[in-house]
Amino acid sequence: MQITLVQGDITEQDVDAVVNAANSSLLGGGGVDGAIHRRGGPAILEECRKLRASHYGGGLPTGQAVATTGGDLRARWVIHTVGPVYSDTEDRSALLASCYRESLRVADDLGLRSIAFPAVSAGIYGWPMDDAARIAVTTVRSTATLVEDVRFVLFTPDAYRAFERVLNG
């Protein structure tokens, strides 16, 4: 597996799947979630609504992942995963690690070879970037997968540097 870092916009990645740091409703939101829904167009939201109606009426559980079309994105697929909200009183790191493992499992189920991840939970969900990077890189490195190309696409220079320290450390 080749792990690379990219500073930029995850919606512009030419990969088999991009991972969406979704909220449990699967109906769009802010940050990465909003950007993917805006750029990917209505087909993504339509499939998310169908998934909610058939399987996830109460919302997609934290740490789980599910795929929809990529709509108008370069990526054929969007893998939606719900990251945990950071807590300084409860260790929720296993849930964050599960987001990465489950996203890779979905990619394997679909026979995908390339995937782009954002820094799940490190935005509005408040996870400290250095810790989010450590969990993300460590989990991806230790997960058995058929995916050959894993990209972490980081929006800010600070996020890129945090992931770079872990990847090269």
Active-site positions?
Answer: 33
Cα–Cα dist 54/91, whole Å: 32
* Strands in the chain per DSSP E: 2-7, 17-22, 65-69, 77-82, 114-117, 149-154
Structure tokens at 109: 């189920």
Distance CA(40)–CA(59), nearest Å, equals 21
For residue 53, count other CB atoms closer than 10 A to its CB.
Answer: 9
Among the listed residues 39, 38, 37, the one whose alpha carbon sits nearest the alpha carbon of residue 47: 37
Nearest to 123 by CA among 162, 76, 169: 162
Bridge partner residues of 152 (DSSP): 5, 117
Give the pair of three-digit tokens for residue 52. 């909610």
Site of tokens 């919302």: 59
